[in-house]
């Protein structure tokens, strides 16, 4: 078989060199009772020619123009990044446990740590994690390791998948989640409720979480949130699903967050049905030795040349075993490489401009929607999401069906996650949506509001 | 081919130093541009109002052109040893060849353009890949169903133990201990600790296998069960696996399977048939998805009838020509956002379509032949701590070389001079000075001999010229990185 790189004759030769005549002799340590006797039901082998032919019609782009963002926003990645990652030296190495032969990977990840920490306004970052949801979980666990407290304050206008993930993890700990509700109209968190929860659980608050911008794409009043939290010395965590939204506001670390996590989705490759993406984890110097996951550090070799190496492994499972900071053994290395390349491509100027472009696109959509008669909120700080209220789910369903017939997925029905938000549609417009895309969408909105 | 060793320098024309990216900065330069007349920066700033902050004050992203960026990363890439260049005989890593047809398939538009929250009828191509992978993995390992959600082996361990914890909760039981063999990978006890279970380490016997009588003594109604790797980290098949499983099940416990070494058993033994209740696969090991320098991976979990209802969400089902999300009400829930590391699933899916049903057994047989061939060639030069049969990997030690003051670390560094990535060193912990070697089935006779010859040469050098080995590597740009300094004076970013 072509992957085994060895012909049958050579296999016989190998066996004979070991004084064996049959490969079965090498499996004699397996009791006969354990050996599989029946057929495993997977298809027979395919040659490459047949495989390519069968998958041929998968090479056309999706026939639908998509306007769903909701934490997984498609962004522009230049071609050179995609082609750079085809280099075998990026995707076929192992983890850089032998630093002398992995300096390229280690240095690129050091640059990733540098850029992600800088983006989040924090001094330190690790070498990446699985995704934003698990990064948030690790942030909460870090807070608990530090202060040993148990009440976790989380708004339910963070990404619903993130909240569910936190719940799965925390169920088996003695940590308790208290939800901060959001206002149905304004979509921002109820600060009064936050204050009440803090008063109620004063001595036992582990941390308070805020998504920036929130799931509805709106920037919350971070200053008030931090003021309320820091009055009682509460550990605060920020979470971000579209990192470009951070290019136009004050850096989160400077605003007082103890840990800032994010997902690099949209910037580390095509969406690919949501994975793999990359979790980003950044924090202050206080928590250096509490960082989960792998970390790359700069150092020198025996001749004083600058070099890079995996470091602070005494936190990790292969040394501390049951006393490790986390069971995490890995990072999403290839996606982190993709992200550092993409952020390098945008550069300082380009990334700030990208943020403004997204705001501008959403503004264009909002203006057009208003001009055809939709009532879109005007006193909110939005990024690239727009919520359109159809009043009831039936009207929204009709509109959605018309859009699908025109091969447009017009946005996310918020009832998917929030039963109390029936009839509302969330539309994302990033730099990837052209004038024509928006105009086609507006046409369908127009027909809807005119009763068709 | 026998006895030929290549020097690993002087073959490449030129390799250049490459400083950190900021060294190439040119003010206001970047590598992305958009021509979009509708964009009005000033209007956007006005919309943001007093929320807007000019991050020109603090954002320190690079300022380079496309060519600068390409040169930077291309030069960095040249400093990476990789599987497409030469062997990585790392134990329990299954660093096999990454087929390029997988890379082609994963980049197909119908897969890459899918947004995870689009209506199900538009996600059919992607959901089909997920459904088939769930089915095929379940078939391969003997499970009722498999969840693809975990993003790494350790993530799969979390999911599996979480399922066990939930099963206990549903029963109304509280158990406080769990058994982990002394040969286990460190993530096993680390994951168990998360659930507050006290880890009882079960030592291995002189045959390198779990001490079954100790398991029998230890197992009681307060014990959750056991985490078992089979074959174990010594490459030895735990032939008493069924007995161990029976002991655990008889007291109401569960068997967790660490599937890292599945490459020895494809088409031969199914863990689900021999008593495993939940097991994580490593798609980035057994199923060829690329390691990418450390990740991403996929630690899909398969479960027996006992635990299948608790599998993490989302699960995909198929009915009346449609693929759809069909979660178990008893599921432990989500362990990450969206579906899974879908890009990897496409690669593993194409791999299974390529090798097909007959390919499974061929893979494991060849993997075992290759490892045993190395063992046969090396056993006269390196100490073999356990004499009994090994399957797809063999563990040697530096015992004989220590007589000359040469350690596993020294041996590993000297191997680099011969263009071979060192095997896993100092693991498993049960062997002092361990060298854990797994060539995988994709190594040819040519490269196997080369690997063996390099290891033999280093063994001879350790005897005849120990300081040569102790001061290795000699042929790399950097040598013996100061890891102590890195930990004592941590510098994780360019600015702090």
- In this predicted model, what pLDDT tens digit does every residue of B297-317 receive, in sequence order? 999 999 999 999 999 999 999
Which pLDDT value is given to residue A56?
Answer: 84
Q: Do A131 and B365 touch (CB under 8 A)?
A: no
Q: Which residues of B touch A292 (CB under 8 A)?
A: none
Q: Given a cut of 60, is residue B403 above it in pLDDT?
A: yes
- Is pLDDT of B1 > 50? no
Write out residues 356-375 of B within 8 Å (CB-CB) of A. Answer: 356-360, 362-363, 365-366, 368-370, 372-373
Is the pLDDT reported for residue A452 higher than 60?
no
B465-495 residue pLDDT tens: 999 999 999 988 898 899 999 999 999 999 9
Mean pLDDT (chain A, rounded): 94
* Res B232: pLDDT: 96
User: pTM score, two decimals?
Assistant: 0.96
Q: So what's the pLDDT on residue A323?
A: 60
Confidence class for position B231, pLDDT limits 50, 70, 90: very high
What mean pLDDT comes out for the span A196-221?
Answer: 96
Of the pLDDT bands very low, low, confident and very high (cuts 50, 70, 90), residue B287 is very high
Indicate yes or no: CB of B74 within 8 angstroms of CB of A87: yes
Closest-CA distance, B67 to chain A, in angstroms, reads: 9
B325-374 pLDDT, tens digit per residue, is 999 999 999 999 999 999 999 999 999 999 999 999 999 999 999 999 99
Which residues 108-127 on chain B approach chain A with CB closer than 8 angstroms?
Answer: 108-119, 122-123, 125-126
Mean pLDDT confidence for B259-281: 97
Q: Cβ contacts (< 8 Å) between B415 and chain A: which residues? A: none
Please determine, for residue B247, whether its predicted confidence score (pLDDT) is greater than 90.
yes
For the stretch B154-188, pLDDT in tens is 999 999 999 999 999 999 999 999 999 999 988 88
Which residue in chain B has the smallest CA separation from A223? B51
Chain A partners within 8 Å of B135 (Cβ): 41
- Checking if the pLDDT of A230 tops 80, the result is yes
Of A46, A127, A317, the CB nearest to B186: A317
Q: A324 falls in which pLDDT band (50, 70, 90)?
A: low
- Split at pLDDT 50, 70, 90, the class of B445 is confident
**B248 close contact with A: CB closer than 8 A:** no
Q: In the predicted model, what is the mean pLDDT of residues B64-92? A: 95
For A70-95, the pLDDT digits (tens) are 999 999 999 999 999 999 999 999 99
User: What is the CB neighbour count within 10 angstroms for residue A270?
Assistant: 17
Minimal Cα–Cα distance from B441 to chain A, Å? 6
The CA distance from A34 to A334, in Å, is 38
pLDDT band of B209, cuts 50, 70, 90: very high
A15 pLDDT exceeds 70? yes
As a whole number, mean pLDDT of residues B398-424 equals: 95
Q: Determine contact: B203 vs chain A, CB below 8 A.
A: no
- Chain A contact probe: residue of B52, B100, B295 with most A CBs at under 10 A: B295
Mean pLDDT of A255-273: 98
Residue B460 forms contact with A (CB below 8 Å): no
Number of CB pairs, chain A paired with chain B, less than 8 A apart: 638
For residue B496, what pLDDT band results from cuts at 50, 70 and 90? confident
pLDDT of residue B10: 45
pLDDT value of position A316: 59
Residue-wise pLDDT tens digits, A146-173: 999 999 999 999 999 999 999 999 998 9
Residues in chain B closer than 8 A to A40 (CB atoms): 139-140, 267, 270, 357, 360
pLDDT band at B7 (very low <50, low <70, confident <90, very high): low
Which of B30, B42, B73 has the most A C-beta neighbours within 10 Å, making it the best mutation to test the interface with A? B73
């Amino acid at each position: 078989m072509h992957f085994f790189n060895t012909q049958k004759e050579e296999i016989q030769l190998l066996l004979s060199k070991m004084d064996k005549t049959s490969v079965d002799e090498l499996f004699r340590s397996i009791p006969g009772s354990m050996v599989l006797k029946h057929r495993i039901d997977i298809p027979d082998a395919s040659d490459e020619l047949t495989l390519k032919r069968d998958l041929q019609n998968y090479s056309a782009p999706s026939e639908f123009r998509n306007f769903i963002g909701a934490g997984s926003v498609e962004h522009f990645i230049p071609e050179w990044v995609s082609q750079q990652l085809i280099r075998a030296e990026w995707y076929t190495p192992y983890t850089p446990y032998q630093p002398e032969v992995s300096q390229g990977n280690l240095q690129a990840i050091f640059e990733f740590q540098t850029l992600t920490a800088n983006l989040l306004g924090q001094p330190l970052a690790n070498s990446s994690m699985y995704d934003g949801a698990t990064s948030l979980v690790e942030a909460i666990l870090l807070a608990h390791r530090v202060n040993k407290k148990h009440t976790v304050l989380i708004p339910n206008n963070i990404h619903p998948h993130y909240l569910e993930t936190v719940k799965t993890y925390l169920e088996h700990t003695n940590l308790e989640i208290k939800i901060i509700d959001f206002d149905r109209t304004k979509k921002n968190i109820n600060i009064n409720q936050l204050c009440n929860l803090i008063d109620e659980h004063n001595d036992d608050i582990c941390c308070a979480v805020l998504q920036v911008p929130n799931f509805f794409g709106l920037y919350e009043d971070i200053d008030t949130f931090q003021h309320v939290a820091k009055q009682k010395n509460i550990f605060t965590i920020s979470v971000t699903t579209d990192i470009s939204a951070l290019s136009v506001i004050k850096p989160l670390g400077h605003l007082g967050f103890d840990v800032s996590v994010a997902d690099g989705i949209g910037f580390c490759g095509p969406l690919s049905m949501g994975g793999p993406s990359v979790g980003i984890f950044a924090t202050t110097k206080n928590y250096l030795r509490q960082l989960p996951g792998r970390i790359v550090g700069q150092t020198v070799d025996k001749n004083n040349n600058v070099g890079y190496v995996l470091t602070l492994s005494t936190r990790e499972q292969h040394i501390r075993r049951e006393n490790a900071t986390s069971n995490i053994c890995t990072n999403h290395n290839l996606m982190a490489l993709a992200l550092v390349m993409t952020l390098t491509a945008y550069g300082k100027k380009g990334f700030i401009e990208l943020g403004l472009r997204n705001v501008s696109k959403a503004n264009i959509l909002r203006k057009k929607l208003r001009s055809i008669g939709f009532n879109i909120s005007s006193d909110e700080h939005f990024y690239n999401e727009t919520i359109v209220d159809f009043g009831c789910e039936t009207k929204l369903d009709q509109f959605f069906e018309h859009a699908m017939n025109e091969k447009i997925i017009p946005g996310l029905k918020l009832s998917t996650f929030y039963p109390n938000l029936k009839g509302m549609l969330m539309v994302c417009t990033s730099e990837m949506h052209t004038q024509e895309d928006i105009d086609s969408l507006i046409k369908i909105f127009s027909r809807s509001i005119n009763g068709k | 081919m026998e006895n030929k060793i290549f020097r690993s320098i002087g073959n490449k024309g030129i390799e250049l130093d490459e400083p950190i990216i900021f060294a190439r900065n040119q003010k206001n330069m970047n590598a992305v541009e958009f021509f979009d007349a509708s964009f009005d920066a000033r209007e956007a700033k006005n919309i943001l109002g007093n929320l807007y902050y000019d991050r020109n004050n603090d954002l320190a992203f690079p300022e380079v052109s496309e060519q600068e960026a390409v040169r930077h990363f291309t030069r960095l890439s040249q400093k990476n040893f990789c599987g497409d260049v030469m062997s990585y005989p790392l134990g329990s890593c299954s660093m096999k060849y990454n087929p390029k047809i997988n890379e082609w398939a994963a980049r197909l538009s119908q897969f890459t353009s899918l947004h995870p929250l689009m209506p199900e009828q538009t996600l059919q191509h992607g959901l089909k890949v997920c459904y088939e992978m769930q089915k095929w993995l379940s078939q391969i390992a003997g499970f009722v169903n498999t969840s693809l959600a975990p993003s790494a082996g350790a993530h799969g361990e979390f999911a599996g133990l979480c399922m066990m914890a939930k099963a206990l909760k549903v029963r109304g039981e509280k158990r406080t201990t769990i058994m982990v063999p002394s040969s286990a990978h460190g993530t096993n006890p680390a994951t168990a600790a998360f659930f507050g279970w006290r880890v009882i380490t079960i030592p291995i016997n002189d045959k390198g296998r779990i001490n079954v009588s100790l398991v029998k003594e230890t197992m009681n109604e307060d014990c959750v069960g056991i985490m078992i790797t089979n074959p174990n980290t010594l490459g030895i098949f735990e032939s008493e696996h069924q007995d161990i499983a029976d002991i655990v099940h008889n007291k109401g416990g569960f068997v967790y399977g660490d599937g890292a070494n599945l490459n020895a058993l494809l088409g031969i033994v199914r863990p689900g048939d021999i008593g495993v209740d939940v097991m994580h696969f490593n798609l980035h090991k057994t199923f060829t998805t690329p390691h990418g320098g450390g990740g991403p991976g996929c630690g899909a979990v398969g479960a027996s009838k006992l635990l299948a209802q608790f599998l993490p969400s989302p699960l995909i089902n198929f009915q009346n020509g449609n693929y759809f999300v069909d979660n178990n009400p008893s599921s432990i829930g989500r362990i990450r956002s969206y579906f899974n590391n879908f890009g990897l699933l496409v690669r593993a899916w194409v791999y299974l379509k390529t090798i097909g049903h007959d390919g499974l057994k061929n893979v494991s047989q060849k993997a075992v032949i290759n490892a045993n061939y190395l063992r046969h060639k090396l056993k006269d030069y390196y100490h073999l701590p356990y004499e009994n049969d090994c399957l797809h990997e063999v563990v040697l030690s530096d015992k004989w070389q220590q007589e000359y003051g040469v350690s596993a670390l020294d041996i590993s560094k000297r191997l680099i001079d011969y263009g071979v990535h060192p095997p896993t060193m100092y693991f498993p912990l049960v062997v002092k000075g361990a060298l854990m070697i797994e060539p995988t089935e994709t190594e040819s006779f040519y490269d196997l001999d080369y690997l063996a010859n390099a290891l033999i040469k280093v063994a001879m050098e350790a005897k005849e010229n120990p300081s040569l080995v102790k001061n290795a590597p000699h042929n790399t740009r950097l040598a013996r990185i100061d890891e102590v300094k890195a930990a004592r004076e941590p510098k994780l970013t360019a600015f702090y």
